[in-house]
Structure 1
Amino acid sequence: MNDDARRRRNRLPAFLRRLEPPRTLDGQPDYRPPAAVLATSTALVVMFAAFYMALYSRLFHHHPHLAAAAVTGSATLPALAVYTITHRLLARFGLYLWQSALVGVVLLGVMAAAPDWARTTYPRAYDRYEAELGGPGKCLYATPYNLDRAQSTFASDRPDRLIIDPIAEDPAPLRLDHAVDGGVKHLTPADPAARSILAQYGC
């Protein structure tokens, strides 16, 4: 870099200046270390998000070895892709402080949002009931089958069957199948009585 270019560079805010990368033995810019740092950071963030997905989907509970392999693979493959792409981009355009700050903010945002994404994708049985039937704006919200007005249990012979028993004496219990934590199937009526109750309230 000549003196004029160096002076112009020094007049720029530090946030916008091009950073000098490490050098190889023959003096060429070596962008492998910053690319490796970004790839490692990406792997950690993706592993964190994948762990929450495996936890909320209960994959860790039922298939721990498969879950561990899935989490590891989901972190490794994106990291390799990020390293390859980043190394080429940095070699072409250079390394700037604003790039590092922007990537850091994005990665921290993904990490912070990961638990909510996992909880939304694989909700608990009661959260699914609220989201599908009993929550605000849903068909059973203003009925005796609102969870605040009923007792809720699971059938002893069917752990995936949710029973909503209104505290009021008249309404019959509502029985719903597929009520498992981390399930992806919609709640369905377990018997004709449940179908009748859902039809009565327009569900």
Structure 2
Amino acid sequence: MSRRPARTRPTRAQTRERILDGALEAFAERGFHGATQEDICERVGLSRGAYNSSFRSKDELFFALYDRVIERLQSRLEEATACALSMPGSTADNFLKAFIASYPFDRDWYLLQAEFGLYALRHPAMASHYAERQGRILAIIEGALADILREDARIAARDLPCIARLILAVHEGSMFQGLLEPGKVASGELLDFLVDLMLADAGDVIRRDRDGSPSQT
């Protein structure tokens, strides 16, 4: 008589990941306030008890999603930065490509982040948690910039925090514009232009031909 294979149950970590994946889909489709616990449980095939043992509120669920985004960004950007430093050519250009590849456009996440950001602005307790997460992302970007630009005398170390904020603002702003006007803004186009402005002569950047090459003046 053959033995039945042992029945295995998902680990707590696996259950959390399933809930996070389902929540991201539900929030993007129905909105943060529109999606319910039942919506999420139904999507991932879990009971409300399993959900409640992992998360106590939708706010906690959102910040768990944000933490996952930060962890993935840090891991990817560390690897990409090391690669950029070992590649020939402009380290700034290499960093830009590494950053875009490490923090790709994710429609579902952008919709949720934008909606929750407005909610947080109206609720100071939420705003402090949101700002703390954004601060972690800025620190990751600033650290990568310090590695990439440490030998570039055109960039002062004191400017790195502002540059990190500018890069994040341009990246997230281009996501919004890409959703609002599909096809009008290519992925990474605005960041590419920003890096040109920071590291090249501003006049040369403004006088570029349509194909991106500097015009002859």
TM-score (norm: length of structure 1): 0.29
Higher share in helix: 2
TM-score (norm: length of structure 2): 0.27
Q: Which one has the largest radius of gyration?
A: 1
